C-alpha cells in the first residue's frame, strides 16, 4: 500500500511538471527564441542597409575613377551576403512559429497525457491496495473467534477417509469449514433415518417416544427430509430419510448421546393379530395355514392391515382362537410351492417341468416369504436352511471373479471410500463377515 501511495505521489508530480512545462515553453522559451531571432533579423536589416550604402558610394566613386572595379565587386558581394543573412533569419523566425512551436507543444502535451495515464493507473492501484489492506485488517480481526455465549465446545472429528484435518495448531483449514460447534442445550433434537417404506406415513407433529441413557422423553416429529441419505453396501443399501425429533428441555441431555426412538404411526385397539412368521405372501394374496382339530393344516386366504414387524393385523379370514402354523415354509410343502410361484412372479422367470420339480425341493429359512438357493438335502430330509446374510448377498451380486470375496475394484466406485475401514484384517479383500460387521458398525454409529 505504501509503495502504491509513493507511486501515486510521483505520478502527481510528473503531471504537474508536464503542465508547467507547457506554460513555461509558451510564455518563456518560445518568446525568448522568437525575440532572439527578431533581434537577429533587425541586425541583419541594418547590416544590409549599411552594405547597400557602401555599394552605392563605391559606385559613384567608381564612375569618377576613384575606386577600382575589384573593390566595387567586393562591396556588391557584401550587399548580397547581408541580404542572404536577412533571409536566413526571416526563415528561422517563420520556421519557429509554424513548425518548431507546434512540434514542441505536441511533445509536451504527449508527456502530459502519459503522466496523466500513469497517475490514473497509480490511483487505481492505490485504491486496490487500500481495499486489500482493509480486507487483510478485517481478516486479522477475524482470526480471533469469540463464542456468542457460554456452553460446550464440540470439535468435529474428521472421518479417516476424508481430507479434512483435525482442528489442531498448524492445521490448514479451508473456507466454510466447521471448526467447532457450540450446541444450544435448550434446543436439543434427535436425528434418525426412517425407512422408505414408512416415511410416507410420517407427518409433522407426530409423537415420538425417545429412550436415552437413564431416562425417557416424549418428543415430536419436526422435520422430514425430502431427499434420501446416500445408500451403499456398508448400510446394506437401505434407503432412509433423515427425520428430526424435537426434544423438550431436560437436565442431562448432551450432544452425541445415542437414543432409541419409537414413532407412533398408528394405534389400534381390540384387533386380531398374527405373528408375521405365520403369514406367507403368494401371487393370490396373503396366506396362512390353519390347523384343524383333525387332519393336516389347511391354507387360508386372509386380508392383513398394519404391521409392526412382529405382529400383523388380520382384517378378515381368521377368527380369534384358531391355531395356525408359525413357520409354514419349514414344515409344509404347499407353502414352499406357493413361495416358488411368488418368486417367479416377482422375477418374471420361466422354467421347464423338471426345473419346477427341482425348485419344489428347495428348503426355506425362518423368514416368511424369503427364499434361499439351497437344494434338498440328501436322503430326502427337508431342513430349514439358514438365511443368507446381507454380506453374503452383496458378495453374490458383486463378486466378479467368483472367489467368494470382494476386492476394492469389485466394489462400486462411490462406495470405495469406506473400503479400508471395512477391511479389518488388512488382506485387501472383504469377506461376508467383514461386510456384516461394517453394516452393524454403521447402524450403531447412526444411533439405530
What gap in Å lies between CA 214 and CA 208, rounded to an integer?
17
For position 220, what pLDDT does the model report? 93
Spatial contact of 362 and 336, defined as CB atoms under 8 Å apart:
yes
What gap in Å lies between CA 371 and CA 375, rounded to an integer?
11
Residue 23: count of CB within 10 angstroms of its CB: 10
Spatial contact of 409 and 428, defined as CB atoms under 8 Å apart:
no
For position 446, what pLDDT does the model report? 63
Of 22-31, 293-302, 421-430, the poorest mean pLDDT is in 421-430
pLDDT of residue 275 exceeding 90: yes
176 backbone dihedrals φ, ψ, rounded to 5°: 65, 15
Backbone region of residue 317 per phi and psi (left: phi > 0; alpha: psi in -120 to 50; beta: other values) = left
pLDDT tens readout for residues 297-331 = 999 999 999 888 789 999 999 999 999 998 888 88
> Residue 391: pLDDT band by 50, 70, 90 thresholds?
confident
Q: Largest Cα–Cα distance in the chain? A: 186
What gap in Å lies between CA 311 and CA 318, rounded to an integer?
14
What gap in Å lies between CA 397 and CA 407, rounded to an integer?
13
64 backbone dihedrals φ, ψ, rounded to 5°: -90, 0
C-alpha cell at 211: 429412550
What gap in Å lies between CA 426 and CA 393, rounded to an integer?
22
203 backbone dihedrals φ, ψ, rounded to 5°: -140, 150
- By DSSP bridging, strand 215-224 and strand 240-246 are antiparallel
What gap in Å lies between CA 350 and CA 352, rounded to an integer?
7
For position 341, what pLDDT does the model report? 81
Residue 348: count of CB within 10 angstroms of its CB: 6
For position 263, what pLDDT does the model report? 87
Of 176-185, 208-217, 376-385, the poorest mean pLDDT is in 376-385
C-alpha cell at 331: 414344515
What gap in Å lies between CA 265 and CA 199, rounded to an integer?
10
pLDDT tens readout for residues 339-368 = 888 877 765 443 333 333 323 322 223 232
On average, the pLDDT of the chain sits at 81
What gap in Å lies between CA 389 and CA 228, rounded to an integer?
24
DSSP assignment of 149-172 equals SSS--BPPPPPTTS-PPPS-TT--
pLDDT of residue 448 exceeding 60: no
Strand partners, 313: 273
Average pLDDT on 276-286 reads: 91
Strand partners, 300: 288
pLDDT tens readout for residues 117-133 = 999 999 999 999 999 99
pLDDT of residue 3 exceeding 90: yes
Closest CA to 367 of 349, 385, 383, 380: 385
For position 75, what pLDDT does the model report? 82
Amino acid at each position: 500500500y505504501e509503495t502504491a501511495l509513493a507511486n501515486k505521489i510521483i505520478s502527481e508530480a510528473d503531471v504537474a511538471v508536464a503542465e508547467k512545462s507547457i506554460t513555461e515553453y509558451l510564455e518563456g522559451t518560445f518568446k525568448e527564441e522568437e525575440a532572439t531571432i527578431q533581434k537577429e533579423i533587425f541586425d541583419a536589416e541594418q547590416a544590409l542597409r549599411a552594405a547597400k550604402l557602401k555599394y552605392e558610394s563605391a559606385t559613384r566613386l567608381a564612375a569618377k575613377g576613384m575606386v577600382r572595379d575589384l573593390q566595387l565587386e567586393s562591396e556588391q558581394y557584401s550587399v548580397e551576403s547581408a541580404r542572404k543573412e536577412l533571409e536566413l533569419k526571416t526563415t528561422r523566425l517563420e520556421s519557429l512559429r509554424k513548425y518548431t512551436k507546434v512540434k514542441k507543444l505536441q511533445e509536451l502535451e504527449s508527456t502530459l497525457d502519459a503522466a496523466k495515464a500513469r497517475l490514473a493507473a497509480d490511483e487505481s492501484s492505490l485504491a486496490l491496495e487500500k481495499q486489500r489492506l482493509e480486507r487483510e485488517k478485517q481478516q486479522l480481526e477475524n482470526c480471533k473467534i469469540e463464542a456468542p455465549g457460554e456452553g460446550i465446545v464440540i470439535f468435529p472429528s474428521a472421518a479417516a477417509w476424508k481430507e479434512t484435518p483435525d482442528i489442531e495448531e498448524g492445521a490448514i483449514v479451508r473456507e466454510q469449514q466447521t471448526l467447532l460447534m457450540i450446541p444450544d442445550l435448550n434446543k436439543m433434537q434427535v436425528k434418525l433415518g426412517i425407512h422408505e417404506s414408512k416415511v410416507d406415513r410420517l407427518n409433522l407433529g407426530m409423537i415420538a417416544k425417545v429412550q436415552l441413557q437413564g431416562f425417557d422423553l416424549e418428543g415430536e416429529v419436526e422435520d422430514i427430509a425430502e431427499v434420501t441419505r446416500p445408500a451403499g453396501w456398508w448400510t446394506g443399501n437401505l434407503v432412509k430419510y433423515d427425520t428430526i425429533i424435537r426434544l423438550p428441555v431436560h437436565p442431562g441431555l448432551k450432544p452425541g448421546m445415542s437414543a432409541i426412538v419409537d414413532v407412533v404411526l398408528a394405534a389400534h385397539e381390540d384387533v386380531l393379530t398374527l405373528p408375521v412368521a405365520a403369514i406367507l405372501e403368494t401371487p393370490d394374496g396373503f396366506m396362512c395355514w390353519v390347523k384343524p382339530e383333525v387332519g393336516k393344516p389347511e391354507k387360508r386366504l386372509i386380508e392383513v392391515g398394519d404391521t409392526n414387524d412382529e405382529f400383523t393385523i388380520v382384517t378378515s379370514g381368521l377368527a380369534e382362537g384358531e391355531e395356525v402354523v408359525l413357520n409354514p415354509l419349514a414344515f409344509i410343502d404347499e407353502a414352499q410351492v406357493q413361495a416358488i410361484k411368488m418368486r417367479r412372479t416377482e422375477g418374471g422367470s420361466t422354467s421347464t417341468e423338471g426345473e419346477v420339480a427341482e425348485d419344489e425341493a428347495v428348503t426355506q429359512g425362518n423368514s416368511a416369504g424369503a427364499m434361499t438357493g439351497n437344494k434338498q438335502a440328501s436322503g430326502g430330509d427337508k431342513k430349514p436352511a439358514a438365511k443368507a446374510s446381507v454380506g453374503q448377498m452383496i458378495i453374490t451380486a458383486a463378486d466378479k471373479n467368483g472367489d467368494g470375496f470382494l476386492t476394492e475394484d469389485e466394489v462400486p466406485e462411490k462406495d470405495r471410500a469406506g473400503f479400508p475401514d471395512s477391511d479389518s484384517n488388512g488382506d485387501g479383500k472383504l469377506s461376508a463377515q467383514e461386510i456384516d460387521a461394517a453394516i452393524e458398525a454403521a447402524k450403531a454409529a447412526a444411533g439405530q
